[in-house]
Amino acid sequence: MIQRAVAQAQANIALIKYWGKRKENNAPATPSIGLCLEALTTTTSVERTSARRDSVMLDGQAARGEALRRIVAYVDAWRTAGLLEGNFHIASSNDFPTAAGLASSSSGFAALATGLGAFSRRPLSASRLAHWARRGSGSAARSIFGGLAYLATGQGSPAGLLAAPRDVPLGMVVCVVDAPQKSVGSREGMERSRAASPYYSSWTAQGRLDYRELAELVLEHFKPGRARLPAAAFRRLGELVESNCLAMHACMLATRPPLLYWAPATLAVLRAAAQWRGEGLAVYGTVDAGPHVALVCQQRDLARTAQLARELPGVARIIPSCPGAAARIIEQA
């Protein structure tokens, strides 16, 4: 019987966004696509304990309140399903600023599901692991697969790989902007939008169309050994990514009361990207439920994009990244 497993997963940032749920098992209302980033890693150790309760450390601090409750409820769901027995000590840390509101729940729950999976009484396929990751956080199901991964809405596999990391010639520069901590978390925010945004149904309809178009573009243009996309294909990808993100934010903004996640620097980075495009550098921005901007470019333009982004006022830190790997166990005893 194993006593300890250490898992790692990469955070992913959506190119086509998930914002809204169906009811059951945290299934999303629309399909989405995310790019896993090698520069954003969560490492989670899961250890059996003889203590009467689970305990959780997050970035070196004992978890309390809502954060603790959410993780214990999650492990409870595994126990109730008959997959786990006993209690666990869980210690998770990110190599990127967690409080900044980057996509930490994606790598967080992917690493946790992978770590718990090592203790499972029944073997779990990647698709079953993705099901469990999704129950923790929808976007986490994409981080199970690495590279470019989708999160589906239907009955079949909850998520899967669209293109392996080595076949994705894209890079991202995450721009952490100066802003106060975000106020409304994704889970609560998307429920508010579903209940009180007049644009919610237009957003979900558009999201489905955008998903289909990007999935087709990936199938057509992402080929093993191809170091970059044809310029027209990348332009189309970038336009889709930006428009899809802005449609999601339009839905958020129209929510009553409004969900306004942006800071002044968010807009400044998006405008800078538009200016650089005018000057010949193909780069597009996307924003999750927070103020930070992820700039999407072809990998050969990553260094130039990072250099320009670093100089923008209001950008506190940049994190350039190539595509990252699938969630995995790195140590087991």
Rule CB under 6 A: which residues touch ligand DP6? Answer: 14, 17-19, 26, 32, 34, 103, 105, 137-139, 186-187, 288-289
CA 249, 250, 256: angle at the middle one, nearest 5? 100
Task: Report the residue number, 45 or 139, with the smaller CB distance to ligand DP6.
Answer: 139
In the complex, what is the shortest distance from the CB of residue 191 to ligand DP6, in angstroms, rounded to a whole number?
8
Strands (E) across 17-98 are located at: 32-49, 55-58, 61-62, 87-94
> Smallest gap, in angstroms, from Cβ of residue 227 to ligand DP6?
27
Q: Which is nearer to ligand DP6, 287 or 315 (CB)?
A: 287
Distance, CA of 298 to CA of 329 (rounded, Å): 30
By beta-carbon proximity to ligand DP6, the closer residue of 31 and 171 is 31
The whole-angstrom separation of Cα 322 and Cα 178 is 24
Least distance CB 329 / ligand DP6 (angstroms): 23
Query: Judged by CB, which is closer to ligand DP6: 214, or 289?
Result: 289
The smaller minimum CB distance to ligand DP6, of residues 19 and 96, is found at 19
Minimum Å distance from CB 255 to ligand DP6?
13
Please, which residue, 91 or 245, has the CB nearer to ligand DP6?
Answer: 245
Which residue, 41 or 186, has its beta carbon nearer to ligand DP6? 186
How crowded is the C-beta side of 199, counted as CA atoms within 13 Å? Answer: 18
* Alpha carbons 247 and 41: distance in angstroms, whole number: 29
* 248 contacts: CB under 8 Å, gap ≥ 6: 17, 19, 203, 207
DSSP annotation of 325 reads: P
Smallest distance, ligand DP6 to C-beta of residue 173, A: 17
- In whole angstroms, the minimum distance from the beta carbon of 49 to ligand DP6 comes to 26
DSSP string computed for 140-192? HHHHTT-SEEEE--SSS-SEEEEE-GGG--EEEEEEEES-PPPSS-HHHHHHH
Minimum Å gap between C-beta 2 and ligand DP6 is: 28
Q: What is the DSSP string of 103-148?
A: SHHHHHHHHHHHHHHTT-SS---HHHHHHHHHHH-TTHHHHTT-SE
Q: Give 243-258 as a DSSP string.
A: HHHHHHHHHHHHSSS-
Q: How many CA atoms lie within 13 A of 118 on its CB side?
A: 26
Shortest distance, CB of residue 130 to ligand DP6, whole angstroms? Answer: 13
Residues 210, 244: contact at Cβ < 8 Å? yes
Nearer to ligand DP6, 105 or 206 (CB): 105
Of the candidates 10, 9, 12, which has an alpha carbon nearest to the alpha carbon of residue 35?
Answer: 12
